[in-house]
Structure 1
Amino acid sequence: MLSSSHIPRLAKKLYWVLGGVASVFIFLIWFVPIFVEDQMEVISLHHWLETESQRYANSVESGEEIAYPNPLEFEIYWQNKPKPNWLDAFSSPGFYEMEEFDNDRHFVVAQMPGRDELYYIVFKDEADDYLDEYEDKLQVFITLAVLILLFTVIVLSVYLARYFARPLERMAAKVKYMEPQQPDFQVDTTFYEIASIEKTMLACKQRINNYFEREQDFSRFSSHEIRTPLMVMQGSAQLLEKVPNQSPLQLKAIQRILTACDDVSLLTDTFLLLGKETIEAQFFEDIVLASVLYEQIDVVTRVLQGERPECNIQINSDSVVRAPRSFLVIAFRNIIKNALSYAHSKVQITLDSHRLVVENDFEQSECQKGYGYGLVILERIGAKLEWSLTIEQLPAGYRVSITFPD
């Protein structure tokens, strides 16, 4: 994703687009008249040469007084008579143009009537440049027109870019009011499309506010309404535990109720903290990882029934992590419980400096639901506290590791 400093601004993009389109049109406005004028000059010269040539050919063919081309404008040469050497290269009838030094020579080559001989009618030096003064004036006029048009286009491009970018900039400034604690903004743009976007943004903001209020209400109500019946259940179970002459089955049921109350209370605390945008400092404490690890291993082994796999524990460091205690308890309990539940014969638990690794010899084929380490809760806790959670499938089992920040 591009950082904000590398994202191009819309106004600059409009400047370039409008400037590029305007440059193309300005080039066409400058080039087309000059090209047309040049072609018109060629057509005019060809027409003049053709008229003089036709007049001369008609006079020769009729046997009347020969009408030579205007000697002030033209020179006439014949193929079998002395002529400039450069004319020898042109042996086919037609109109031609040749550059001689800094001058363009326009001429026509034609067939003598009734003879197998060519004649050449050539403009005298600079006689065919009678339009040069007009061309100079035209180029000056076009240059001035292009400069005026260029200035107008630049001003218009800047105006249009700002005109269209300003409503978008105002809309972008309203994004900061999308947060729930900010007041509603006004839809005040004059453009229908942008107004539609702002109305959608405002509707989404109001929906976010409603979600946020409902989440706050749920957190507040659940914090009170769930804990109240839990305390009643826990107190009642403790009173039942003091009743004399109870059977082992009754005592076991009472203990399960107390354990379930503790679990629900722990989960409630964890979910309420996960729902907060930021966790207050009062919920953090310095916790020795090894003590929590032994505590949860003991809790899980007491809860699991039947034959349990061998559990090897290796503590290499007395690491201390600053975190909410409920997060560590939930994370360790989920990993250990699932590792012991799905292991064939052994579980290896290793605690190094700021890193917990749990391995077992689980086989995927034996459980269609997969390994199941309480991933949703673990991932949420890890994302909240910037813990690194890694799950690896080994040739003969699985490995789950949590790396705690220093």
Structure 2
Amino acid sequence: MVSRDRSQPAGVFHRGLFYRRLAIIFGLQWLAIVIVCLMGIYDVAPASAVLVLIVIISSLAWLAARRQWAPVSRLAQAVSDWDEQSPDLGSWQADQLPERTDADVATLASSLYGFANRIAGYNQRERNFTRDASHELRSPLTVIKMSADMLADDPMLGEFGQRSVQRIKRSTREMEALVEALLILARESDNGLTEEDFVVNDVLRDELPDVLEMLEGRPITLELEEPARFALHGSPRVFAVLCWQLIRNACQQAEGGTVVVTVMPGVVTVTHRGEAPAPTSADRHGFELAIAQRISERFHWPLELQTREGRRHIARIRFPESSPVT
């Protein structure tokens, strides 16, 4: 069985039909103009009549050429009105085109129709993934958190068991932040996030208990410095996830000391203060920064990374459309 190339239009279309029609139109135009000019030269018609006939012939030729271009204009309009959530391009499916359609136009329509189908399929898979992943990943994490809380309250659990439970709780919280970040990045066409005006300082303070829970059992403290206050219009959840990733990265880089989150006018910085990592230790810039970089690019919040003396890393997020809060 021989499969047909899907990019080729169904039906029989003539390639170059558009150019042949234009050649006929302009050929007839020139022939008519030559005849009219000869009529003027041999005094068959007055000069004024010759000029009027030339204008009429040129106008008719222009209208005929415009009519030949009309299918391309209608196709452009169909693409302009196309909703990416639907593969429908009106009557521009290859099997619905008139047989006298130029083959180039039919190929363009068929390719656009196939492209529209792929985009609509991608959007549907995206919605299915984000919906299923949101449920199937968060549900077991909730069960793990509840079970860990129950184990932590067990008086028979020894010191080693308590440390293990705390590690489970910390890893579960990190996994929740990771799932949240991946779901945000997976929603390309419809992010499903509520935008509102919010004060970044308030969001950071609300997130501090979860971050402290993640740091429990590690020789790292967290501080929030607020020399300024400012507000943003956007998703507070996205902002919180972005800061989460930068704080997680700072904690991964640090062996101890203090991770400081500083709010300046239109800027939030995350830095580590304290004993610097040993020069021979591995640079653990990794997944957290990759996610933070993608979120910053997606929402147009520039992210700057600096390394100062002592291999201390500073992450700085700029918010160009921030507004000060008094």
TMscore range, shorter length: 0.5 to 0.7
- Partners of 1:147 and 1:366 lie apart in 2 by 90
Instruction: Give the greater-gyration-radius structure (CA).
Output: 1
Report the CA distance between 1:166 and its aligned residue: 0.8
Alignment CA distance shift 1:371-1:278 (3 Å): closer
Structure 2 residues not aligned, in runs of 5+: 1-21
Aligned: 1:358 with 2:283: no
Report the CA distance between 1:167 and its aligned residue: 0.4
Report the CA distance between 1:356 and its aligned residue: 0.8
Match of 2:301 in 1: 388
Q: Of the candidates 69, 78, 81, which is equivalent to residue 174 of structure 1?
A: 78
Aligned: 1:159 with 2:64: yes
Q: Secondary structure of the equivalent of 2:216?
A: helix
Q: Deviations over 1:212-270 (max 9, x none)?
A: 22222222222222233223322322333333322222212222222233333333344
Please show how residues 172-321 of structure 1 align to structure 2 within 5 Å.
172-175=76-79, 176-181=81-86, 183-187=88-92, 188-189=97-98, 190-274=101-185, 275=187, 277-281=190-194, 288-292=202-206, 294-295=208-209, 298-299=212-213, 301-302=215-216, 304=218, 314-321=225-232
Contact 1:349 1:359 (8 Å CA) reproduced: yes
Q: Deviations over 1:89-144 (max 9, x none)?
A: xxxxxxxxxxxxxxxxxxxxxxxxxxxxxxxxxxxxxxxxxxxxxxx955988967
Q: Deviations over 1:12-35 (max 9, x none)?
A: xxxxx99xx99xx79x979xx9xx
Contact 1:315 1:352 (8 Å CA) reproduced: yes
Contact 2:253 2:284 (8 Å CA) reproduced: no
Contact 2:87 2:116 (8 Å CA) reproduced: no
In angstroms, what is the RMSD of aligned CA positions?
4.6
Report the CA distance between 1:336 and its aligned residue: 2.5
* Alignment-mate amino acid for residue 336 of structure 1: I
Alignment CA distance shift 1:157-1:378 (3 Å): same
Match of 1:79 in 2: none
Contact 1:387 1:403 (8 Å CA) reproduced: no
Contact 1:348 1:360 (8 Å CA) reproduced: yes
- Partners of 1:217 and 1:137 lie apart in 2 by 76
* Alignment-mate amino acid for residue 238 of structure 1: D
- Partners of 1:398 and 1:223 lie apart in 2 by 33
Q: Deviations over 1:316-348 (max 9, x none)?
A: 024455654543332223223323443698866
* Alignment-mate amino acid for residue 315 of structure 1: E
Q: Deviations over 1:31-84 (max 9, x none)?
A: xx9xxxxxxxxxxxxxxxxxxxxxxxxxxxxxxxxxxxxxxxxxxxxxxxxxxx
Aligned: 1:400 with 2:315: yes
Contact 2:224 2:262 (8 Å CA) reproduced: yes
Q: Secondary structure of the equivalent of 1:226?
A: helix
Structure 1 residues not aligned, in runs of 5+: 1-16, 34-135
Alignment CA distance shift 1:398-1:158 (3 Å): farther
Q: Structure 1 length normalisation: TM-score?
A: 0.53
Contact 2:296 2:303 (8 Å CA) reproduced: no
- Partners of 2:138 and 2:307 lie apart in 1 by 42
Contact 1:292 1:329 (8 Å CA) reproduced: no
Report the CA distance between 1:350 and its aligned residue: 2.7
Q: Structure 2 length normalisation: TM-score?
A: 0.64
- Partners of 1:293 and 1:239 lie apart in 2 by 23
Contact 2:177 2:244 (8 Å CA) reproduced: no
Alignment CA distance shift 1:375-1:166 (3 Å): farther
- Partners of 1:347 and 1:156 lie apart in 2 by 75
- Partners of 2:166 and 2:82 lie apart in 1 by 52
Match of 1:5 in 2: none
Identity %: 17
Report the CA distance between 1:353 and its aligned residue: 3.0
* Alignment-mate amino acid for residue 250 of structure 1: G
- Partners of 2:272 and 2:149 lie apart in 1 by 37
- Partners of 1:178 and 1:322 lie apart in 2 by 27
- Partners of 1:266 and 1:192 lie apart in 2 by 53
